[in-house]
A = this chain, B = another copy of it.
Amino acid sequence: MQRREFFKLSAMAGLATVLAPAANAFQIPDPAKKAVLNISFQEGVAYGNSLNEKLDFCEANGVVGLEPGGGGLAKRVDEFKKALSGRKVKISAICAGFSGVPMSDDPKVRRQAIDSIKEIVTAAGELGSTGVIMVPAFNGQTKLGNQEGRKIMVEEVLPELGEHAVKCGTHVILEPLNRGEAYFLRQVEDGAAICKDVNNPGVALMGDFWHMTWEETSDFAAFVSGAKWLWHVHMASRKKRRIPGEDGDADNYIDGFRGLKAIGYQHYVSFECGCGGDRKTLLENACKLLREQWEQA
Contact = CB atoms under 8 A, between A and B. Distances in A.
Nearest to A191: B217
Contacts of A60: none
A31 B189 CA distance: 22
Contacts of A258: 26, 28
A228 interface: yes
Contact of A147 (B21, B35, B183, B217): B183
Interface string A1-32: 10100100100011101111111111111110
A262 B26 contact: yes
A152 interface: no
- Taking the full assembly, how many copies of this chain does it contain? 2
Interface of A: 1, 3, 6, 9, 13-15, 17-31, 34-35, 145-147, 183, 186-187, 189-190, 192-193, 195-196, 215-218, 220-222, 224-228, 258, 261-262
Contacts of A146: 145-147, 183
B34 A24 contact: yes
A13 B18 CA distance: 13
A227 B255 CA distance: 14
B215 A225 contact: no
10 contacts: A9-B22, A9-B23, A25-B27, A25-B28, A187-B193, A193-B217, A218-B221, A220-B224, A221-B221, A221-B224
A22 B13 contact: yes
